[in-house]
Amino acid sequence: MAQIIASTKEISNKRESLIVLSNSLKNKISLLETLGNSLNSMWEGAAKEKYVKQLKTDISKMRNLLKTILEFILILEKIIAIYNKAEKKNEATAVS
């Protein structure tokens, strides 16, 4: 009979990778806000209004992406916890 080996290692690795990427995105959003606000003075009138509106839209989209990534990380953590709980239960059943 074939032995199936499963673990949460790959999911944990993906989770760690997403954490690194989300931290990078968080920094990029902050940088965009800083640079965007400093460039704000270059515009006047309708062009300035359009620039500010677009900047706010872009930042909002990036924040939504970051929020989604962070939610996905939490889901991966729940999956890992559920798997580990089931694994411990199976080990206990196998021992008894």
Nearest-angstrom CA–CA distance, 28 and 36: 12
Q: Which amino acid is at 1?
A: M
Q: Are 41 and 48 in contact (CB under 8 A)?
A: no
* Residues in contact with 22: Cβ distance below 8 Å, sequence separation at least 6, in sequence order: 66, 69, 70, 73
Closest by Cα among 54, 10, 9 to 32: 54
Give the pLDDT score at 17: 97
8-61 per-position pLDDT tens digit:
899 999 999 999 999 999 999 999 999 999 998 899 999 999 999 999 999 999
Q: Is the pLDDT of residue 3 over 90?
A: no
